[in-house]
Amino acid sequence: MRCHTLTLLTGLALAAPALATPAVHQAGEWYVGGKVSGALYGQPCSAGSLSCDELSGAAGVYGGVQLKDWLALEGGVEYLGGPVATYPALSQPQSQVDYEASVAGVELGVKADYALNERVLMFGKGGGVYWLADKEADEPIAGPLNDSDSGVSLMLGTGLEYRLFRDLSTRFEYQYIDGVGDETTGQSDVHFFSVGLDYRFGGTPTPVVAPVAPPEPEVLQVEPEVRAVPEPVRVETFTQVLSGTSNAALFDSNSAALTPHLKLQLLPVLSRLTTYPETTVSIVGHTDNVGAAHDNQWLSQVRAQSVADYLAQHGVSRARMTVRGMGELSPIASNTTASGRAHNRRVEIVSPEVTTQTKKQD
């Protein structure tokens, strides 16, 4: 069992440097700390013992310096307690005598780290312990007995370490010390389990790298296109009178429906209103005095409205049009003759003059 344990711990100590990664600690740091827990002695008592307590309290102080980010030189002083055994008295076998042992040591070794993340690491360590062992008893006849011895033993260890803050770390550690004591005091392997806390000094604080702002995108300076401001355009007044003086009828008989002849006559005003969006138009219907006055009024209104509807169908906004019916109230010729009545049956279209810079493009 002792050989297997030694082989396992030796492997851990030697493998740690090979596995080392960018570590939790930094080269140049040095540290001091303390640890407490218990020590277990392997078979410290002979076959003649009446009782044997192999477990003892233990404590120690330690310190070290980081040679590399993953490698430290570490030393310490430890009190390992000792086993307590009860034996028959040498001179009076019917009596019992308690033998108490105590072990203290000074260790020196190397500690290799393997970082699991930015705060946690596992470690292996190896070196030697210079130990002092004492054994005391009080024989009934022989009186007090006190044997002591010293020596150097192999020490191996492993554990986990957690860096609480930049300067403070804690560790959970197991150490194996091979063959403490001799034939006089009794020889035993020591298994030392401990919890430690250490404070670190020195080292270089990890620089805080400011985030690099991405380069600002290059802004291309585009010269704005300079467009020549068109000269104002003066659009003169447009006037058109559509009457029944020609042989072609303007409206269907007894109807307000536009004839093809009238639609052809409306092309000039439609072109003007489409080309110049700022122009407006007034549409006024008239009749002769044949028939009742109220009928003539109605007929002049609906015929003027028919002209406006035709223009609206071709994209002219109704907001640009004014529509009225004057009936027989505004004759321009005598109603006593057929020729005069033909002149009076008419539609007057007037589009006032405007000055504009807006012209609809083809």
Single out the residue of 113, 117, 160 nearest to residue 19, CA to CA: 113
Q: Specify which of 41-55, 205-219, 279-293 reaches the highest per-range mean pLDDT.
A: 279-293
* pLDDT one-digit tens code per residue, 267-282: 999 999 999 898 999 9
Token pair listed for 253: 């008989």
Give the closest residue to 177 by CA, choosing from 164, 165, 187: 187
Chain centre distance of CA 178: 54
pLDDT of residue 1: 45
For the beta carbon of residue 151, count every other beta carbon within 10 angstroms.
15
Task: Give the per-residue SS3 of 299-321.
Answer: HHHHHHHHHHHHHHHCCCCHHHE
pTM for the full model?
0.50
Does 18 have pLDDT greater than 50? no
Domain 2-201 in this protein, CATH class: mainly beta
Mean pLDDT on 317-330: 93
Q: What is the pLDDT of residues 31-47, one digit of tens each?
A: 999 999 888 888 777 77
| Total residues found in the chain within this entry | 362
Amino acid at 311: L
Q: Which of 163-177, 206-220, 278-292, 348-362 has the lowest mean pLDDT?
A: 206-220
Q: What number is the average pLDDT over the span 104-128? A: 92
pLDDT of residue 214: 75
- What stretch(es) of the chain map to CATH 2.40.160.20? 2-201
| Mean pLDDT over the full length of the chain | 83
pLDDT of residue 245: 72
Q: Which two tokens stand for residue 107?
A: 């260790």
pLDDT for 10 beyond 70: no
- What pLDDT does 74 receive? 95
Could you tell me which residues are beta bridge partners of residue 322? 282
Q: What is the mean pLDDT of residues 100-120?
A: 90
User: In 3D, which of 34, 29, 25 has the Cα closest to residue 170?
Assistant: 34
Decide if 141 contacts 92 (C-beta within 8 A). yes
* Closest-CA residue to 159 (of 130, 198, 133): 198
- CATH H-level, domain 233-356: superfamily: OmpA-like domain (3.30.1330.60)
- The pLDDT confidence band at residue 246, using thresholds 50, 70 and 90, is low
